[in-house]
Structure 1
């Protein structure tokens, strides 16, 4: 749920459609007889409703955070900010996915400890994320976005429920496999470059568009109204409709789709990601996806 391109999780906006049945985990074979290169770090992910979450500690205070690849800016709830001794100040300003402006105060120089690894973050947004999730959802202390991993290369093994920070050696080994395909992509960052997200380039008959990769989107495919026709969708239909279109020669997006009039070209969430292993180079904007 990207705060500066945010999807509100409310009945008044988009219907959240249930995910399809879970699929088996991906097995990525390495080169025979070659020792497996170790990543710099590996963290467990856990299921959180239709998305995933991470456990982390700040200033000795543990918490559970949703992990949102399209979040842009890492979020701390006001209560959690108080617990860790942060006095929110100033203002961060951006725009939600549907175009409305969002202003939040900020916490500076926050260090997340995930497992045994310390992850410093210059600026975090302070926002009550419970307003964007179902009222019966288990509590979270905020949301971790890609800005926490800026400049690094990470792999998100969605079926295996793990997040890895790749070493140069482990990255070379991972992307050498035949079932791992690179997709053209680009980084994006709002709030004066503090936020960070990544989008995959998708061809149309008239030119390329970019679909944001969004682990915080639990159940839908979103295609902006002006581009709906290029993907076999009705731009004037208000409710969900079936989508089945090519992201690349190797991958398709299938599932329930909406065609809102939003700022982004498109957005692909867990219906696309749930059975894949995705690698993001957050320094250069390169993306690799393992075929299930």
Structure 2
């Protein structure tokens, strides 16, 4: 998918958000005259600008896809914006569907979440973030005791924030028996996880564990998955 360049105009508006680890991020809001995402043309789209050193040119948020289904194909390293015809092909070839929940903050930031099952006994509502990385599973440290673990027996370290070096969080590391969606259509075993003090969610994780081809359908509040 190609992203064509655009002209940004700064507005008087700003947005205050938070990283999963709690740091406050205040961003100026800009408007793009026209954004072309692989043929999907978006006029007057909002952009948040935050100036810091990071090895990325930028991030595509979920906001443009609230009414447009998008597919992440890990096998072919491809991002596809679906048409009604191509979406039906995804549905016909799916292995399973699973529900997703949406958090919409003034149409500026959108997050998605789903319920998962840990060790076949603990159900948590976790945020799904493709930018979290492959095989990344992070949970709030309050669940260490719930899972019968002892914090003092776990390897731990304090990490300073890459966004705000004066802030940081303590990470505890463990291996859990299993993680699955509630319907147990997909699962991973013997997973290395981290429990994070100050995590603002019950959990947050990448999306690759669901399958190789994942369609995010926020309009119908579901994931469409091919393993």
Per the normalisation by structure 1, the TM-score is: 0.60
The answer to whether 1:100 aligns with 2:23 is yes
- 1:248-259 mapped onto 2 (5 Å cutoff): 248=181, 249-253=184-188, 255-259=191-195
- Identify the match of residue 176 of structure 1 among 86, 92, 115: 92
User: Aligned pair count?
Assistant: 204
Alpha-carbon offset, residue 188 of structure 1: 1.3
Q: Distance in 2 between matches of 1:57 and 1:141?
A: 13
SS of the residue corresponding to residue 35 of structure 2 reads strand
- Going from structure 1 to structure 2, the CA distance change for 1:257 and 1:246 (only over 3 Å counts) comes to closer
- Identify the match of residue 194 of structure 1 among 79, 103, 108: 108
The answer to whether 1:225 aligns with 2:148 is no
- Identify the match of residue 175 of structure 2 among 242, 245, 265: 242
Alpha-carbon offset, residue 101 of structure 1: 2.1
- Higher normalized strand content (fraction of residues): 2
8 Å contact kept, 1:154–1:166 = yes
Aligned to 1:32: none
Alpha-carbon offset, residue 285 of structure 1: 1.8
SS of the residue corresponding to residue 257 of structure 1 reads strand
Alpha-carbon offset, residue 113 of structure 1: 1.9
Aligned to 1:124: 47
Q: Note the residue ranges of structure 1 that are not aligned, 5 or more in a row.
A: 1-42, 44-54, 60-83
Q: Note the residue ranges of structure 2 that are not aligned, 5 or more in a row.
A: 157-171
Aligned-pair Cα RMSD in Å:
2.8
SS of the residue corresponding to residue 9 of structure 2 reads coil
Per the normalisation by structure 2, the TM-score is: 0.75
- Going from structure 1 to structure 2, the CA distance change for 1:232 and 1:149 (only over 3 Å counts) comes to farther
